[in-house]
């Protein structure tokens, strides 16, 4: 082929093109999601539980009466990278933080807790209550609290999570 132009031969096109250099830097700074490429994530989960009583105000049915549940609580943490210890977060630390939050609910009449004075202590609101407090306790970790699920029976649960695409 002889078109008079040789890409390999021209000194101007050898070395690093500034555009390519800036793109690869972007890549190394983990802006991969923003570029529409696949994002790989690690996720860990712990399970815990607490016992509590509640009554659902304004609920047309048996749940308006005082009754109790043994709630099973699942806490999900995720991260695109592992710490130097090869973990998303030490399970022990996560368990301790979760227990500290659940202590405020365990063996309590949930309607009497100030947070639930106006807000119904449904499993949905309980999941959000736990999520918000756990998020505060886990501030500063490199991983992210992604979801809390509260099971009020073996077959019924509610979850609270926050969209973290733009975090």
Q: Which residues bind Zn ion (CB under 5 A)?
A: 63
Supply angle C-alpha 57, 62, 63, rounded to 5. 40
Q: Are 36 and 49 in contact (CB under 8 A)?
A: no
Beta bridge partners of 160: 148
Supply angle C-alpha 148, 151, 156, rounded to 5. 120
User: For residues 63 and 104, which CB has a smaller minimum distance to Zn ion in the complex?
Assistant: 63
| In the complex, least distance from residue 75 CB atom to Zn ion, rounded to whole angstroms | 21
User: For residues 45 and 124, which CB has a smaller minimum distance to Zn ion in the complex?
Assistant: 124
User: For residues 63 and 141, which CB has a smaller minimum distance to Zn ion in the complex?
Assistant: 63
| In the complex, least distance from residue 152 CB atom to Zn ion, rounded to whole angstroms | 6
Helices (H), 103-154: 123-137
Known catalytic residues are: 54, 63, 67, 69, 106-107, 152
Residues 6 or more apart whose CB falls under 8 angstroms from that of 83 comprise 89, 142
| In the complex, least distance from residue 91 CB atom to Zn ion, rounded to whole angstroms | 29
CA distance 26 to 13: 21
| In the complex, least distance from residue 134 CB atom to Zn ion, rounded to whole angstroms | 22
Residue nearest to Zn ion according to CB distances in the complex: 63
CA distance 102 to 130: 7
User: For residues 56 and 134, which CB has a smaller minimum distance to Zn ion in the complex?
Assistant: 56
Q: Which of 97, 9, 107, 99 is nearest to 51 (CA)?
A: 107
């Amino acid at each position: 082929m002889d078109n008079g132009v040789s890409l390999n031969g021209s000194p101007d096109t050898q070395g690093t093109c500034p555009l390519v250099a800036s793109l690869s830097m972007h890549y190394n700074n983990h802006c991969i999601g923003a570029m529409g490429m696949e994002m790989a994530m690690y996720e860990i989960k712990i399970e815990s539980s607490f016992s509590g009583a509640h009554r659902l105000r304004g609920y047309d049915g048996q749940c308006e009466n005082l009754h109790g549940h043994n709630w099973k609580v699942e806490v999900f943490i995720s991260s695109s990278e592992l710490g130097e210890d090869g973990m998303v977060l030490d399970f022990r630390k996560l368990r301790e933080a979760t227990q500290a939050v659940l202590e405020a609910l365990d063996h309590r009449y949930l309607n009497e807790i100030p947070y639930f004075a106006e807000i119904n202590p449904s499993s949905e609101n309980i999941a959000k209550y736990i999520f918000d407090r756990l998020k505060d306790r886990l501030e500063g970790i490199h991983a992210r609290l992604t979801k809390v699920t509260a099971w009020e029976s073996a077959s019924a649960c509610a979850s609270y999570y926050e969209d973290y695409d733009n975090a």
